[in-house]
Amino acid sequence: MHIPDGYLSPSTCVTLYAAAAPFWFAALKKVKRLLHTRLVPLISLFAAFSFVLMMFNIPLPGGTTGHAAGIGVATVILGPWASILAISVALTIQAIFFGDGGITAIGANCFNIAVVGSLVAYACYRLAAGRSPLESRRRVFAAGFAGYAAINAAALVTAIEFGIQPIFFQDASGAPLYAPYPLHIAVPAMMLGHLTIAGFAEMFVSAGIVAYLQRTDLALLKLTAPEVADPAEAISAIETRGAFESTRALWVTLALLMILTPLGIFAVGTAWGEWGPSDFADPEVREQIAASSLNQAPPAGVPAGMERFASIWTAPIPDYAPPFLKSERLGYALSALLGVGLVILTLQLAGWVATRAST
């Protein structure tokens, strides 16, 4: 679901940067108070959790792969605006340093996953949870439902963006310039894996963490439950204890996930819509592309626009594989550690800037 460079036209990329920008601005404004407090580690935690979770590829129908994204749990704990900020930071770090998603498509990926995903998750959680007590099983169900709906909404928007490319952007012969498959192929091909597997992975993560917090720290569930709790009291309680102290077990879980990230490279196959230009010339990969695209063969050659923009940026550590390491698994784990560090550093810097700007 990380759109690479070359899959969307320049005009589409610009449009989606423009679409994401107001939400980034609103998110920064909404969470400015949080950035002034000791809650920055809380936002950093869920940004880092999202980063690491997206490294765990899971096999999907058709021979492709997918992953959970941590949208649901970030939104349930932080609220939609802080979630937009946290997940956008994770996606931007992935694109710039690891080539997971394109530089030109950062706006698109953030709009799809961080913005659409977080807003859908929040609406579904509030609707499903209602005025139920924080300790109720209904809130566990609501969190799971929010995660499932969020990642599928993000996948659907991504599929639509892919599907409109061959309609509006063609060369003189009528061949697609960018993403090659139209809507009637892109939407079912993308949604099949997310509705059946990736969505449930997101659901279990969201529901599982909320169920854990119900037993250990209800304060973290009060921020997004204004009907039954005062969010201001929750912020005060977290600040008093310290955001790190309140989430110690979740930080330990994050550390464990970083150690286990090499499991994420065992899934065979490329995520749908993330094939490189060289894949279109590889007979074996072409068969995989066709099999995951309703048996519709890809174009005979690389779409011209895709070939032109695919190499616009070379990440320092492409595909989470440090060039100085021969061990793929060790490199993947070290990339997780580096990525988490960059995410935390970025948000800490944002907090420092916000604090300085207010003094």
Tokens of 340: 């988490």
pLDDT band for position 132 (cuts 50, 70, 90)? very high
User: Per-residue pLDDT averaged across 57-75, rounded?
Assistant: 92
Asked if residue 241 belongs to a domain, the reply is: yes
The answer on pLDDT for 133 being more than 80 is: yes
Residue with tokens 């994401």: 20
Question: pLDDT: is 218 or 12 the higher one?
Answer: 12
Asked if residue 176 belongs to a domain, the reply is: yes
The answer on pLDDT for 41 being more than 80 is: yes
Q: What is the pLDDT of residue 36?
A: 63
Q: What is the pLDDT of residue 39?
A: 75
Here the CATH number for the domain that contains residue 313 is 1.10.1760.20
User: Per-residue pLDDT averaged across 334-339, rounded?
Assistant: 96
Asked if residue 4 belongs to a domain, the reply is: no
- Mapping DSSP to helix (H, G, I), strand (E, B) and coil, where does residue 207 land? helix
The answer on pLDDT for 76 being more than 90 is: yes
Q: What is the pLDDT of residue 243?
A: 61
- Cβ–Cβ under 8 Å, residues 344 and 48: yes
Q: pLDDT tens digit string along 294-334? A: 999 999 889 999 999 999 999 999 999 998 888 999 999 99
Q: What is the pLDDT of residue 218?
A: 87
User: Per-residue pLDDT averaged across 253-265, rounded?
Assistant: 90
pLDDT band for position 268 (cuts 50, 70, 90)? confident
Asked if residue 297 belongs to a domain, the reply is: yes
pLDDT band for position 37 (cuts 50, 70, 90)? low
User: Per-residue pLDDT averaged across 113-135, rounded?
Assistant: 97
- With 0-12 / 13-18 / 19 or more C-beta atoms within 10 angstroms meaning exposed / middle / buried, residue 259 is exposed
The answer on pLDDT for 354 being more than 90 is: no
Can you tell me the distance from the alpha carbon of 7 to that of 176, in angstroms, rounded to the nearest whole number? 10
- Cβ–Cβ under 8 Å, residues 118 and 75: yes
User: Per-residue pLDDT averaged across 194-206, rounded?
Assistant: 96
Q: What is the pLDDT of residue 155?
A: 97
Q: How far apart are the first and last CA of the chain?
A: 40
Q: Give, as one character, the DSSP assignment of residue 115.
A: I
- Cβ–Cβ under 8 Å, residues 51 and 320: no
Q: What is the pLDDT of residue 219?
A: 84
- Cβ–Cβ under 8 Å, residues 185 and 296: yes
Q: What is the pLDDT of residue 296?
A: 94
Could you give the percent of the chain with pLDDT greater than 70?
95
Contacts with 136 (C-beta within 8 Å, 6 or more apart), sequence order: none
Q: Give residue 204's domain range.
A: 10-358
Can you tell me the distance from the alpha carbon of 80 to that of 116, in angstroms, rounded to the nearest whole number? 10
Asked if residue 123 belongs to a domain, the reply is: yes
Asked if residue 185 belongs to a domain, the reply is: yes
Q: pLDDT tens digit string along 280-305? A: 989 999 999 999 999 999 998 899 99
Tokens of 205: 């993560």
DSSP-assigned beta bridge partners for residue 170:
176
The answer on pLDDT for 82 being more than 90 is: yes
The answer on pLDDT for 246 being more than 80 is: no
Number of independent structural domains in the chain: 1
pLDDT, mean over the chain: 91
Asked if residue 1 belongs to a domain, the reply is: no
Asked if residue 164 belongs to a domain, the reply is: yes
The answer on pLDDT for 242 being more than 70 is: no
